[in-house]
Amino acid sequence: MNIVVPIKQVPETSNVKMDPVTGTIIRDGVESIINPLDLYAIETAIQLKETYGGKVTALTMGPPAAEKALREAIAMGCDEGVLVSDRKFSGADTWSTAYVLVHAVKKLDDFDLIIAGERATDGDTGQVGPAMASALDIPLASYISRIDSVRADGMTVERLVEEGYETLEIDLPALLTVVKEISYPRLPTLRGKQKARNTELPVLTAEDLEVEEVYLGLKGSPTRVVKIETPKVTRGGTILKAVDEESMNDAIEELVEFLKTREMI
């Protein structure tokens, strides 16, 4: 089973700071990690490979430093890592990101399965996986919490929904996005770290992918973040103090009057 796992490098969330003027995330000097939810996709892919054979390729679109994420994925047990990197890709929205990743997937060996994370902790849209499935015209099963059985041409999976679980039959090749419940990510081993250090990582540029420039980066993105705001917490209001029976009755009366003026009772 050949599996591709698209992974995203994100700023470590405990360190995220916003630029107060532009409203964008300040990435300079911030530690980058593999999107934590992608670790579950990596683990699921490695477990499938261990059971059914084949290989797992980690794929990321990002700056040259995103190579670190690929080496971490290999240290966990992925076989190969491919970096998709070109200045022309910078500022891509989810549509443009998926467009580039799909062209990269087409340059790899034929795949049976793509396993993406549920969402990235920075962009937080959960759109890239489904957009890739749509562009590749393959079946999509999102929020997968369990893989029940795998056949040569399909699999049975369990999907987390608001009121429980759905059981789906899905044909292969397909794309899954997975939730935390599906697995428990392993830690990299010493042998894995050694392999990761010595593995050559191919870098694919816009020219290699034969993509159309009009669809790349900020200019080629149909959507744009114009403003990001942190909600302001307002703590206005009146504190009613009740220290004895009389003040308790006064407080209740005042509260009832307040609710009446708001037509809440």
Ligand X SMILES: Cc1cc2nc3c(=O)[nH]c(=O)nc-3n(C[C@H](O)[C@H](O)[C@H](O)COP(=O)(O)OP(=O)(O)OC[C@H]3O[C@@H](n4cnc5c(N)ncnc54)[C@H](O)[C@@H]3O)c2cc1C
* Contact footprint for ligand X (CB under 6 A): 6-8, 35, 37-38, 41, 59-62, 91-94, 97, 101, 116-117, 119-120, 122-129, 218, 221, 223-225
How far is it, in rounded angstroms, from Cα 125 to Cα 49?
28
How far is it, in rounded angstroms, from Cα 92 to Cα 99?
10
Give me the amino acid identity at 24.
Answer: T
From the CB of 21, what's the least distance to ligand X, in Å? Answer: 16
Full 3-state SS string of 133-145: HHHHCCCEEEEEE
- Looking at the Cβ atoms of 35 and 145, the one nearer to ligand X is 35
Give φ, ψ of 44 to 5 degrees: -60, -45
Report the residue number whose CB is nearest to ligand X.
123
- Looking at the Cβ atoms of 92 and 155, the one nearer to ligand X is 92
Structure tokens at 75: 């240290």
From the CB of 157, what's the least distance to ligand X, in Å? Answer: 17
From the CB of 199, what's the least distance to ligand X, in Å? Answer: 18
Question: 3-class DSSP state for residue 42?
Answer: helix
Other Cβ atoms closer than 10 A to 38: 29
- Looking at the Cβ atoms of 1 and 32, the one nearer to ligand X is 32
- Looking at the Cβ atoms of 23 and 167, the one nearer to ligand X is 23
> Residue 54: left if φ>0, alpha if ψ -120 to 50, beta else—which one?
left
From the CB of 5, what's the least distance to ligand X, in Å? Answer: 7
From the CB of 70, what's the least distance to ligand X, in Å? Answer: 10
